[in-house]
Amino acid sequence: MSSLKNIFSSRPERGDKFYRALKKILSFKPGNISIYEEAFTHRSMNNTSDNGTPQNYERLEFLGDAMLGSVIAAHLFKKVPDGNEGYLTKMRSKVVSREHLNELGRDLNLIKLVKTNIPTKQFGENIHGNVFEALVGAIYLDKGYRGCEKFIHRRVIKPYVDIQKLEGKIISYKSLFIEWCQKNKKNFKFNVYEDTGNDPLKHFAVKLQLEQNTVAKARGTSKKKAEERAAKRAYYKLQRKMQVQDG
């Protein structure tokens, strides 16, 4: 009878490396371990279910993104009773920004548990945030909304969500720079071109021009990243001027 129980149990042995690492991250005992295994499986593994459905973290990532947005929205709604819709939306965006989710995934070192046929060095930064979202999705399926909410409060809200700090946090330097240029009727241009460096990953370089001058240069693994970095450098270079003119 006990052998039959072992065959049909989805829970691994206590000594299982993945189970132990997962339990430490979650701070509770995972139930259906197969859901979590899917949350840490990259599409390069080409895993499929019996009916041919791909089994990797991408669908769970979608679910986790929705759960994070929901729990964070509810928290902000309670914490900032006088915040209007625009304010609450902006604050939620700061908490669930790609940059912040990547930071959360890195802090938990989730990449060490990812099963992949591609060397992890070849992944961009977003792998950290993607897997974090997938993990949140898996927790929801395993423990329901309440269990998912507890995890987000412990791992996201308590250590990272400081309302005053968030109010001053800039989500996109590019948006800020463009806004400032438009407000002050200044001409600008992001000149992006493919970088022919020796990096294993393709890089893009950008020169940010303000009027006739190049005010910043940057590189990134995507055009979007290169532009954001250039805008950030331009912001810090022109910060005093931008603040004076805005004032």
Catalytic sites, residue numbers: 65, 133
Contacts of 136 (CB under 8 A, 6+ apart): 63, 64, 67, 68, 148, 151, 152
C-alpha 67/C-alpha 101 separation (Å) is: 13
238 contacts 223 by C-beta, under 8 angstroms = no
C-alpha 15/C-alpha 222 separation (Å) is: 41
Angle between helices 58-79 and 126-152 (to 10 degrees): 50
Burial group, residue 59, by CB count within 10 angstroms (0-12, 13-18, 19+): middle
C-alpha 42/C-alpha 123 separation (Å) is: 11
Which 8-state DSSP code applies to residue 171? S
C-alpha 189/C-alpha 27 separation (Å) is: 48
